[in-house]
Amino acid sequence: MSSIEVQPSSIQLDSSITIATTTTTTTTPKTPTPTHSHRHRHRRSLTPSKKSLSSILARLHAGYFRISLAFGSQALLWKILRQTTTHNNNTTTETIIKPSPLLDVFHNLPLTASFLLWTLSFLILISLSLFYLLRCFFHFHLVKAELLHHVGVNYLFAPWTSWLLLLQSTPIFISPKGFPHLVLWWAFSIPIIVLDVKIYGQWFTTEKKFLSMVANPTSQLSVLGNLVGARAAAKMGWKESAVCMFSLGMAHYLVLFVTLYQRLSGGDRLPAMLRPVFFLFLAVPSMASLAWSSISGSYDTESKMLFFLSLFLFASLVSRPTLFKKSMRKFNIAWWAYSFPLTMLALAAAEYAQEVKGHAAAALMLIISGLSLLVFIGLLLFTLLNAAKLLCENDPILSFAKDPMA
């Protein structure tokens, strides 16, 4: 009996010893050991200071040239508004229309402010160009993927269009018919023509990138590049080159406009964050009216028809604010897509008011120009307040490398 009673105690003692040892072994590692995720997080927190330039170049896609487009067009608007006057140049009509005094509101704009705006536009554009040139050198695979993307490729027109706008908005004391203008026009127009051959050619020659599959509102940037180049050539006196670029842009604009209006399968592939680019619909006819008036020498009926079309498209977009509701929840570089088209509409309104000389046209010019200036200043303030969000990782254009159509 006694032997039988001793064995359970020994077993119980052994079990208590084992439990104690297991508890001690399990409770001893109380000091946290650095895991792989912690090490990776710690390493990632140390690397931005070393790789800040590389990360900036990797995220600085061509869509950031929306800022230079807005600055360049605003500088051109200030230059044209200073040239508006109540002097009536129309001596062929039987009834002389009394010019509106509203046309002289912007005529007294300080020349210094216009020159400072042009200088700031030049500094911003040359900074973006240098950074993108470094991106081409250090991240050429991203530039190549951007070239093959159905949205990213259209923004490759933006740098050259920005330079052409800046060329047209040069201060008044610089002659637009000088030899430097001629050389710069060729330097900025040849890349646009090369991109035209690539994009327009693949619309009817390739099997994967039909226009109905890749067309989106950003595709109108290719047309804008040709129209801006046509106006610049007309201002230099090169009428044949201006007609060539104008016809090239407008022929493809008609096809593109019909395709986008039909809302085929390619139209719904635009992320909600990029919906501000819908305002490019009113930028193309506005720029076309300016280009044609420079070619023909007057703001004739064809230019007025294009201007009225842009007004209709502007009213259609403004009356549907829910379309842009999702894109306005968080600041994004795509917001700058509002400024450039509105400024183009203001430029066309200024040319129209200068030709018509009526009170209604002058009031329309004041309203649209004021709205363009308010949007421009508002975007500038938002950008300064959200400078840390400019190079964000969730930019929809940064997904071009993973796009199945690329």
Per-residue pLDDT for 406 more than 90?
no
Give residue for tokens 């226009």. 211
pLDDT digits (tens, 9 = 90+) for 126-139: 999 999 999 888 88
Average pLDDT, the chain: 79
Residue 151 lies in a domain: yes
Measured from the Cβ of residue 405, the count of other Cβ atoms closer than 10 Å reads: 14
Domain range enclosing 80: 62-84+111-401
Q: Which residue would you say has higher pLDDT here, 377 or 171?
A: 377
The closest alpha carbon to 308, from 338, 288, 278, 337, belongs to 288
Helices assigned H by DSSP within 297-358: 301-318, 339-356
State whether the Cα torsion 392-396-402-406 is positive or negative. Answer: negative
Residue 297 lies in a domain: yes
Output the pLDDT for position 399: 58
Residue type, 355: E
Output the pLDDT for position 93: 39
Residue 41 lies in a domain: no
Output the pLDDT for position 49: 39
* Residue 33 C-alpha from the chain's centroid: 48
Residue range 8-13: average pLDDT? 44
User: pLDDT exceeding 70 applies to what percent of the chain?
Assistant: 74
pTM comes to 0.80
At 22, the pLDDT band (50, 70, 90 cuts) reads very low
Output the pLDDT for position 56: 79
Output the pLDDT for position 2: 43
Looking at mean pLDDT, say which of 95-109, 307-321, 376-390 comes out highest: 307-321
Residue 26 lies in a domain: no
Residue 204 lies in a domain: yes
Q: For residue 85, which phi and psi values (nearest 5 degrees)?
A: -150, 160
Output the pLDDT for position 237: 87
At 182, the pLDDT band (50, 70, 90 cuts) reads confident
Q: Confirm if 249 and 223 have CB atoms less than 8 A apart.
A: yes
Residue 101 lies in a domain: no
Q: Domain total for the chain?
A: 1
d(CA 306, CA 351): 12
Residue 38 lies in a domain: no
d(CA 86, CA 372): 22
pLDDT digits (tens, 9 = 90+) for 331-369: 888 899 999 999 999 999 999 998 888 888 889 999 999
At 213, the pLDDT band (50, 70, 90 cuts) reads confident
User: How distant, in Å, are the alpha carbons of 18, 104, 177, 356, 404 from that of 298?
Assistant: 101, 20, 19, 11, 47
d(CA 55, CA 226): 33
Q: What is the domain-level CATH number for residue 215?
A: 1.50.10.150
Residue range 390-402: average pLDDT? 59
Residue 24 lies in a domain: no
Per-residue pLDDT for 278 more than 80?
yes
